[in-house]
């Protein structure tokens, strides 16, 4: 989840001991969104919250919540240890799975689209280490909303992907009026379209796309 201004405000209120209901009234953020943001953050109610409701139920809710947080942390640690260190083959297959979900399969263009910085970094790592492309083969086109700052968005993705700004093409701005404000706030730096170009080497262009489709076919044919 991107660290948007409204999330930072909600985090300050949550850290100060305010309930989801009170944060919802103050900022207009839904309880389900707040629960998703802070599901793994311990919660200690402040005096204002304690005065609004009986101490017994909130104490019980606090205990239940913190027990859940402890369980999440424990299982996260267990899961991390079970994965261990990724081998090159692990990365290869992981990237194929990413491309199946987020990659371009038509028109023989090699492209992965995502707004999650970690997933985008994974895509860059996979392209470089498995597909053997370098910076000269990578371009990025950002798709942002009209209330996003173009310069800040480019700066953010340039740093996130460890790519020079010269690799970024003209930013596409979605100025449609029917886009909700909430959706805009969730993507403060827009979505990155990571494209691989041949740059004079067909092995990094059409042939790479065809090879990717072969990898995908090799995986999916075994699922069938």
Instruction: Supply the DSSP symbol for 104.
Output: -
* Average pLDDT, rounded, for the chain: 89
Rounded Cα gap, residues 148 and 111, in angstroms: 23
Query: What's the number of CA atoms in the CB half-sphere (13 Å) around residue 102?
Result: 19
Structure tokens at 164: 């020079």
Locate all alpha helices (DSSP H) within the chain, ordered by sequence. Answer: 5-15, 20-27, 31-38, 47-52, 55-83, 88-102, 117-129, 150-161, 181-186, 206-223
- Overall average pLDDT of the 148-173 stretch: 96
Positive or negative, the CA dihedral 192, 193, 199, 202 is positive
pLDDT band at 54 (very low <50, low <70, confident <90, very high): low
β-sheet bridge partners, residue 196: 110, 138
Neighbours of 74 (CB within 10 A): 10
- Per-residue pLDDT of 113-138, as tens digits, reads 999 999 999 999 999 999 999 999 99
- Per-residue pLDDT of 175-187, as tens digits, reads 776 655 555 567 8
- Per-residue pLDDT of 63-80, as tens digits, reads 788 888 889 999 999 999
Quick check: helix, strand or coil at residue 42? coil
pLDDT band at 107 (very low <50, low <70, confident <90, very high): confident
pTM of the model: 0.69
Nearest to 37, CA basis, from 67, 79, 9: 9
Rounded Cα gap, residues 166 and 169, in angstroms: 8
Residue 196 scores a pLDDT above 80: yes
Length of the chain measured in residues: 224
Percent of the chain predicted with pLDDT > 90? 63
């Amino acid at each position: 989840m991107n660290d948007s201004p409204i999330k930072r405000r909600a985090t300050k209120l949550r850290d100060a001991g305010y309930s989801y209901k009170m944060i919802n009234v103050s900022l207009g953020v839904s309880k389900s969104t707040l629960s998703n943001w802070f599901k793994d953050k311990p919660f200690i109610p402040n005096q204002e919250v304690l005065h609004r409701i009986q101490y017994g139920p909130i104490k019980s809710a606090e205990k239940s919540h913190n027990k859940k947080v402890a369980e999440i942390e424990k299982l996260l640690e267990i899961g991390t240890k079970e994965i261990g260190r990724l081998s090159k083959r692990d990365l290869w297959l992981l990237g194929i799975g990413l491309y199946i979900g987020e990659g371009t399969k038509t028109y023989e263009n090699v492209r992965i689209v995502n707004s999650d910085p970690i997933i985008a970094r994974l895509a860059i790592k996979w392209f470089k280490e498995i597909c053997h492309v370098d910076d000269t083969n990578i371009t990025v086109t950002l798709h942002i909303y009209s209330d996003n700052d173009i310069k800040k968005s480019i700066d953010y993705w340039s740093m996130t992907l460890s790519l020079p700004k010269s690799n970024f093409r003209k930013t596409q701005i979605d100025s449609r009026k029917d886009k909700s404000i909430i959706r805009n706030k969730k993507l403060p730096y827009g979505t990155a379209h990571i494209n691989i170009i041949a740059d004079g080497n067909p092995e990094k262009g059409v042939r790479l796309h065809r090879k990717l489709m072969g990898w995908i076919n090799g995986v999916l044919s075994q699922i069938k």
